[in-house]
């Protein structure tokens, strides 16, 4: 099992940067950077991550797995599954919680957590990866930008009760350790089992392009295969926009 070394901070620009600095200095796997607040929390595709103080979990975990670059998305899957494990443990009915490709955890169809993996590679091997998780446990989105408020939720908002943040953090770290210990077994079957995206019409932004079709399957490397009017498209990295009806 992974051995954790948890470093707590009151406020940081982003836990990702602190964890990466520690990784570059040779810190071992298991270092966890946790902050009460972030002033420049980030998500995928350069988006900001809403990070008000004392309401949510903002963490970055340093990992040094023996994986090829093609398996990097497995860490995203492990992070997302661990959040679902916590939701289960907090008593959220599993029918209300699921995953949206590639890195979103949904509660009642809204985003309750996001996963961000940043990695350093040598040739095809991972030197290290930083697994970042933003988990809206008690977040109140009253002061959040409208775009965030429309798409995000928190456990507190959905369940109408405040959760103990440090208990949620302990549960999350335990779930991560357990999921990570299952490597080199693939997390893909467990991930796909909770993925709400498959079989549905999707609209994805891929670079400057928009890909519209039906989400068919996820490949072992995390690629989403979309059935479009022009044939199958393999989307390695894209942003899933709203689900849309495809005619």
Residues that bind ligand BTN (CB under 6 A): 14-16, 38, 41-44, 47, 49, 58-60, 103-104, 114-116, 132-134
To the nearest whole angstrom, how small is the minimum distance from the Cβ of residue 59 to ligand BTN?
6
Q: How many residues does the chain have?
A: 247
User: What does the block give as tokens for 71?
Assistant: 């398996």
In the bound complex, what is the minimum distance in angstroms from residue 240's beta carbon to ligand BTN?
11
Q: Could you give the angle at which helices 165-181 and 72-89 cross, rounded to 10 degrees?
A: 130
Residue 208 Cβ vs ligand BTN, minimum distance, rounded to whole Å: 19
Q: Which is nearer to ligand BTN, 41 or 213 (CB)?
A: 41
Is the Cβ of residue 243 or residue 246 nearer to ligand BTN in the bound state? 243
User: In this structure, are residues 190 and 96 in contact, taking their beta carbons and an 8 Å threshold?
Assistant: no
Q: Which is nearer to ligand BTN, 32 or 211 (CB)?
A: 32
Minimum gap (Å) between residue 58 Cβ and ligand BTN: 4
| Residue number, nearest CB to ligand BTN | 114
Query: For residues 150 and 232, which CB has a smaller minimum distance to ligand BTN in the complex?
Result: 150
Beta strands in the chain (DSSP E): 5-12, 31-38, 57-63, 97-100, 104-107, 110-122, 125-135, 201-206, 209-218, 224-228, 231-235, 239-240
Task: Cite the beta strand spans of 23-146 per DSSP E.
Answer: 31-38, 57-63, 97-100, 104-107, 110-122, 125-135
Nearest-approach distance from CB 232 to ligand BTN, in angstroms: 26
Of 48 and 185, the one with the shorter C-beta distance to ligand BTN is: 48
Cis peptide before 102, with omega less than 30 degrees from 0?
yes
């Amino acid at each position: 099992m992974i051995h954790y070394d948890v470093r707590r901070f009151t406020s940081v620009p982003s836990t990702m940067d602190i964890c990466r600095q520690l990784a570059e200095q040779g810190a071992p796997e298991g270092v966890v950077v946790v902050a009460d607040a972030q002033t420049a929390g980030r998500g995928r595709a350069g988006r900001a991550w809403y990070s008000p103080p004392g309401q949510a979990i903002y963490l970055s975990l340093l990992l040094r797995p023996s994986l090829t670059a093609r398996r990097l998305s497995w860490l995203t899957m492990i992070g997302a599954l661990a959040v679902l494990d916590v939701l289960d443990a907090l008593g959220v009915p599993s029918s209300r919680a699921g995953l949206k490709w590639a890195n979103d955890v949904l509660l009642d169809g809204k985003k309750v957590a996001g996963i961000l993996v940043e990695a350093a590679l040598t040739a095809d091997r991972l030197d290290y990866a930083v697994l970042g998780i933003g988990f809206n446990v008690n977040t109140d989105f009253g002061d959040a930008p409208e775009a965030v408020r429309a798409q995000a939720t928190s456990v507190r908002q959905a369940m109408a009760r405040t959760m103990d943040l440090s208990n949620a953090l302990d549960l999350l770290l335990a779930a991560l350790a357990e999921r990570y210990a299952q490597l080199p077994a693939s997390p893909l079957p467990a991930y796909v089992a909770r993925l709400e995206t498959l079989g549905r019409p999707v609209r994805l932004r891929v670079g400057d392009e928009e890909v519209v079709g039906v989400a068919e399957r996820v490949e072992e490397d995390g690629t989403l295969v979309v059935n479009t009017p022009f044939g199958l498209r393999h989307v390695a990295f894209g942003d899933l926009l709203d689900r849309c009806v495809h005619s």
